């Protein structure tokens, strides 16, 4: 008696057409040896057995095509996965190369920025040092001026004294000075000019004195 295979055992399902053919031949032999069965019944039994056999063959063929489609779909998915992995690998390598270039650029930029920062720091430090020195000089000059002003204030001559042109103190006469009348000169006006536009009035007078030799008089 044929045992129905358990669900999920693919190997036994693949043997179903062969078992069906075996049972078909066995049934045919049994019908031929049955002498007490009418011919019409034998024909019907034969057709039924043949139909069952063809049904099994159809199911086996359908199963085989289903397996083929599954394998083809699985193969297609595997190929698609390989293609995606290769494309992903190419993109990863391209990104890696770009990142390597960017890293080199960043290192170069960092180096340049460091150099510029050091240069700016040096220039700023020099400027600050110059400003500090100038500030110290201005403070020292202010201190000297205050000191000199204080000395000058403390050494101010007493009332009734004054400094002459040489810096020596002389007594101021207590009696009023007699007004000296200026010498009477000519009543007409003398207008003198120079052809050099850069000469001032003092220059013209000096030149006239040199010409008349009046400096000593």
Where exactly are the structural domains of the chain? 10-78
Residue 159: what pLDDT?
A: 46
The better pLDDT of the pair 13, 181 is held by 13
pLDDT computed for residue 28 by the predictor: 82
Angle CA 115–121–125, to nearest 5: 150
* DSSP conformation letters of 55-111: HHHHHHHHHHHHHHHHHHHHHHHHHHHHHHHHHHHHHHHHHHHHHHHHHHHHHHHHH
Percentage of residues in the chain having pLDDT higher than 90: 20
pLDDT at 167 over 70: no
**DSSP state, residue 7:** T
pLDDT at 71: 92
pLDDT, residue 187, reads 54
Return d(Cα 135, Cα 17) in angstroms, integer: 112
What 3-state DSSP class applies to 174? coil
pLDDT (0 to 100) of residue 180: 52
Could you tell me the sign of the dihedral formed by the alpha carbons of 15, 17, 23, 29, in that order?
negative
Of the spans 1-10, 79-88, 123-132, 190-199, which averages the highest pLDDT? Answer: 79-88
Task: Give the mean model confidence (pLDDT) for residues 95-105.
Answer: 92
Determine the pLDDT at residue 173: 43
* pLDDT tens column, 27-86: 888 878 877 778 788 788 888 888 888 888 888 888 889 989 999 999 999 999 999 999
- pLDDT at residue 142, rounded to an integer: 86
Please tell me the distance from the alpha carbon of residue 22 to that of residue 187, in angstroms, as a whole number. 172
Q: Is residue 2 very low, low, confident or very high in pLDDT (cuts 50, 70, 90)?
A: very low
């Amino acid at each position: 008696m044929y045992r129905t295979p358990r669900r999920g055992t693919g190997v036994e399902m693949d043997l179903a057409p062969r078992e069906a053919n075996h049972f078909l031949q066995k049934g045919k032999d049994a019908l031929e040896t049955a002498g007490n069965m009418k011919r019409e019944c034998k024909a019907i039994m034969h057709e039924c057995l043949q139909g069952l056999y063809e049904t099994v063959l159809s199911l086996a063929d359908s199963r085989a095509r289903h397996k083929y489609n599954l394998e083809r779909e699985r193969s297609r998915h595997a190929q698609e996965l390989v293609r995606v992995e290769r494309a992903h690998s190419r993109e990863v390598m391209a990104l890696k190369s770009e990142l390597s270039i960017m890293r080199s650029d960043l290192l170069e930029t960092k180096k340049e920025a460091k150099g510029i920062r050091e240069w700016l720091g040096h220039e700023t430090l020099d400027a600050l040092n110059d400003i500090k020195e100038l500030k110290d000089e201005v403070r020292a000059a202010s201190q000297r001026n205050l000191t000199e002003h204080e000395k000058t204030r403390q050494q101010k001559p007493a009332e009734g004294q004054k400094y002459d042109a040489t810096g020596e103190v002389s007594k101021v006469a207590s009696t009023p000075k007699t007004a000296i009348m200026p010498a009477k000169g000519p009543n007409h006006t003398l207008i003198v000019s120079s052809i050099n536009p850069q000469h001032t009035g003092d220059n013209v007078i000096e030149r006239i004195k040199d010409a008349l030799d009046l400096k000593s008089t």
